């Protein structure tokens, strides 16, 4: 049985361990599609997904991690959303691990995140994706996100990235 829920402190720690373990394999799909594709230095990735950094993000109150779990303990994927202000949140990332893709897990995980955000009073959810990431772009478009803009930015690790920003307005009930 697959469940979707906010990550507890223990869940964030388990997620950090899983991510760091997966990213150690330089031949893995997740490594190639994330680290290699965007030219992210390994030390930057290790720091970003360290237990310390992820727990700090969660403890700040602005960042929330969601987990897709099989049998309540096996992590299949995750999402991270960052509250920008009272009405806007950024979906920082949504990842379904390669062996679990194309099973509707990402769509269900996104639905959980959006339900929680709507309940919180968030009105707009934004997400950035690489301009060349056609699979991700189709995913957001399929889930009612509308393209808002395209831009080239300087990434924190020094590369330039071509991004597309999508927005979704969460409708109020009634």
The rounded percent of the chain whose pLDDT value lies above 90 is 73
Position 173 scores a pLDDT of 61
Domains in the chain (CATH in brackets) are: 2-169 (3.40.630.30)
pTM score, two decimals? Answer: 0.92
- CA 112, chain centre distance (Å): 13
Position 89 scores a pLDDT of 98
Q: Average pLDDT over the chain, rounded to whole?
A: 93
Residues in Cβ contact with 42 at an 8 Å cutoff, skipping those fewer than 6 apart? 35
Beta bridge partners of 125: 89, 168
**Residue 68: band (very low, low, confident or very high) from pLDDT cuts 50, 70, 90:** very high
Q: Taking the CB of residue 65, how many other CB atoms lie within 10 A of it?
A: 22
Could you read off the pLDDT of 112-135 as tens digits, one per residue?
999 999 999 999 999 999 999 999
**Residue 61: band (very low, low, confident or very high) from pLDDT cuts 50, 70, 90:** confident
**Residue 159: band (very low, low, confident or very high) from pLDDT cuts 50, 70, 90:** confident
């Amino acid at each position: 049985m697959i469940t979707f829920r906010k990550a507890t402190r223990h869940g964030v720690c388990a997620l950090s361990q899983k991510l760091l373990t997966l990213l150690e394999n330089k031949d893995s799909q997740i490594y190639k599609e994330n680290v290699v594709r965007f030219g992210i230095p390994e030390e930057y990735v290790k720091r970003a997904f360290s237990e310390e950094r992820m727990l700090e993000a969660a403890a700040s109150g602005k960042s929330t991690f969601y987990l897709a779990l099989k049998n309540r303990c096996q992590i299949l994927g995750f999402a991270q959303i960052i509250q920008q202000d009272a009405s806007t949140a950024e979906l920082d990332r949504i990842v379904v691990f390669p062996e679990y893709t194309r099973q509707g897990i990402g769509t269900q995980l996104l639905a959980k995140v959006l339900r929680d955000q709507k309940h919180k009073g968030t009105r707009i959810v934004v997400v950035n994706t690489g301009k060349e990431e056609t699979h991700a772009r189709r995913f957001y478009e399929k889930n009612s996100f509308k393209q808002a803009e395209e831009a080239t930015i300087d990434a924190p690790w020094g590369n330039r990235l071509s991004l597309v920003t999508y927005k979704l307005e969460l409708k109020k009930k009634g």
